[in-house]
Amino acid sequence: MIRSQIDDSVLDPSVAPICSAVFDQFEPISLAALMKVVQLVKPSYCPLDIMPAALFKEVFHSIGLDIVNLINGSLASGIVPTALKHAAVQPILKKPNLDSTVLSNFRPVSKLPYLSKILEKTIFTQLQTFLENNGIFEKFQSGFKTHHSTESALLQVFNNLVFTVDEGNTAILILLDLSAAFDTVDHRILLSHLQHSVGLHGNVLKWFESYLSDRSFAVHIDEFSSSVVPLNCGVPQGSILGPVLFSLYLLPLGSIFMKYGLSFHCYADDIQIYLPLNVKKSNSFQTLMDCLRDIKAWLSHNFLHINETKTECVVIGNSGVTGSDIPSFLASYLRPHVRNLGVVFDGALKLDEQIKSVVKASFFQLRLLAKVKHFLSFSDFEKAIHAFISTKLDYYNALYTGISQALLSRLQLVQNAAARLLTNMRRHEHITPVLASLHWLPVRFRIDFKLLMFVYKAVHGLAPLYISELVCFYTPERTLRSSNQLFLEVPKSRRKHWGDRAFSVRAPILWNGLPWEIRSAACLFLNHFLKRICIHGPLTILLIDVFVLTMYFSCYFTV
């Protein structure tokens, strides 16, 4: 067990401030509000449910008052029913071709009763409101938060890295991975963090203490079930509150990074650390070593363990820094390129390995799609192409701005091949009219389109705070005709292949190129903004189907 291998005798090096906000009493929920909660929680199968979740939703109008009384009783007493704290664990083979006799090839899937999710969703709504109103969340934690995603996290990190190199420095990016982090969370320490760092007191803290205590699980395979085993640590897997509790568990970790002045970004249990390097000054490495020492000490104190086999680092920049310049404690983790939240970062940030991976996976999917084409209608086959190919081209494409034309052409070849497969077009026929007839935006315009969408969300409060801080409106020193044009300020950069690739540089340039009626559309919804770009903006090379684009990008962003 991982917890038994952790030395928790070290002192806690964090200096997290005591939270002054107080949340000590839940608000009772009404029948109408609970009905909305039931509609939001998706039905899922759990062998512990007395009735199927879909049937529960259908008959809720008959049993709603009893459910309201049950939930309000839990909120008022601060006690969670024991039956709602038992989980059914079902082992699922990770891949169909793996050996079923090897236990490590299975992924344990924890399932909770549907009624427990209704109760947790009620608690989550009130807890989320309290956290947002008091600004308690860690700004640089993008996991399990509205308007946040892996792409927004990488966009901020990528922006800071290219600006660091553009200023003439070398940067180092360190990726830390925690081993089974959700399963080793200590309940006593979590409750302490909830009380002192979050501000939960009274009946609210009592409810979470009851929620974490006396939990149990049993393994279910078909109609067979194992004996019940107590669960004394970890946040509940498969729960609604589990992810937010884990984020709050890591809340004091940010104080260590701020203590040493290092930049960081977290996505759930994946931690990124990056900073400028100066090999001529040993204090930069000493600061990094001291910070990593304290991070490891804090993790041990909180029963978390760094997975050494998955820890990697890469040097960003072209200053000639080699492995011999890196301290020995980091040299073993040094790689020519690393996979960061699904994107391959190399030392020059050319993203050639990333593009290579996307192209290879896309053509593999195209070959598979070609085998089933004759079984699908034209519209269904087009949906399949968007699901398996277009999503790969668009995922993380906000980072592709400024990549070489050769790499851009490789991505365009994928889209061209998909269009030819869909329309039965010959290989040597001109592709542009076909893309226009399908209302498919070429790859280079899709990149700009994604950046503009990020800008719109940033200036209208729909993006993470760290993205909104990268753009600011232009304010001239004296009154000019451009003062009220809602232009964005474009930071100065030194080099085209570095600074000009930053989101904070490229995105304002694209925004300032939009017509006034689009920039001033502060009251528009996102789909109306996209429509105006398509009709009036610089992307009028094609007549874009707005509905397709809106639905297409909705899988990454929530309005």
pLDDT digits (tens, 9 = 90+) for 357-410: 999 999 999 999 999 999 999 999 999 999 999 999 999 999 999 999 999 999
pLDDT at 557 over 60: no
Give Cβ neighbours of residue 27 (< 8 Å, ≥ 6 apart): 75, 126
Q: HSE on the CB side for 216, CA within 13 Å?
A: 13
- Report the pLDDT value the prediction gives residue 552, as an integer from 0 to 100: 40
Rounded to the nearest 5 percent, the helix, strand and coil shares of the chain are 50, 10, 35
Distance, in Å, from the CA atom of 80 to the CA atom of 206, rounded to the nearest integer, reads 10
Residues 187, 232: contact at Cβ < 8 Å?
A: yes
Q: What is the 8-class DSSP label of residue 373?
A: G
- Burial of 302 (C-beta count, 10 Å sphere; 0-12/13-18/19+): buried
What b/e readout covers 62-84, taking b as 16+ CB neighbours within 10 angstroms?
A: eeeeebbebbbebbeebebeeeb
pLDDT at 98 over 60: yes
Alpha helices in 268-347 (DSSP H): 282-301, 328-331
The sign of the dihedral angle between the CA atoms of 474, 480, 486, 490 is negative
Alpha helices in 349-470 (DSSP H): 352-372, 378-385, 391-394, 405-423, 432-438, 443-459, 465-468
What b/e readout covers 380-399, taking b as 16+ CB neighbours within 10 angstroms?
A: ebbebbbebbbebbbbbbbb
If you search the block for the tokens 């639905």, which residue do you land on? 551
CB atoms inside a 10 Å sphere around CB 245? 24
Q: Which domains does the chain have, with CATH numbers?
A: 21-140+186-239 (no CATH), 155-179+245-346 (3.30.70), 352-440 (no CATH), 444-556 (no CATH)
* pLDDT (average), residues 299-328: 80
Share of the chain above pLDDT 90, in %: 51
Q: Beta strand pairing status for 337-340 and 343-346? A: antiparallel
CB atoms inside a 10 Å sphere around CB 361? 14
* pLDDT (average), residues 446-461: 90
Structure tokens at 327: 């301290």
pLDDT tens track for 44-71: 888 888 889 999 999 999 999 999 999 9
Residues 174, 313: contact at Cβ < 8 Å?
A: yes
Q: pTM, whole model, 2 decimals? A: 0.86
The number of residues in the chain equals 559
CB atoms inside a 10 Å sphere around CB 325? 15
pLDDT at 553 over 60: no
Q: Dump the DSSP string for 491-518.
A: ---S-TTTGGGSHHHHHHHHHHTS-HHH
pLDDT at 537 over 60: no
Give Cβ neighbours of residue 71 (< 8 Å, ≥ 6 apart): 29, 34, 118, 119, 122
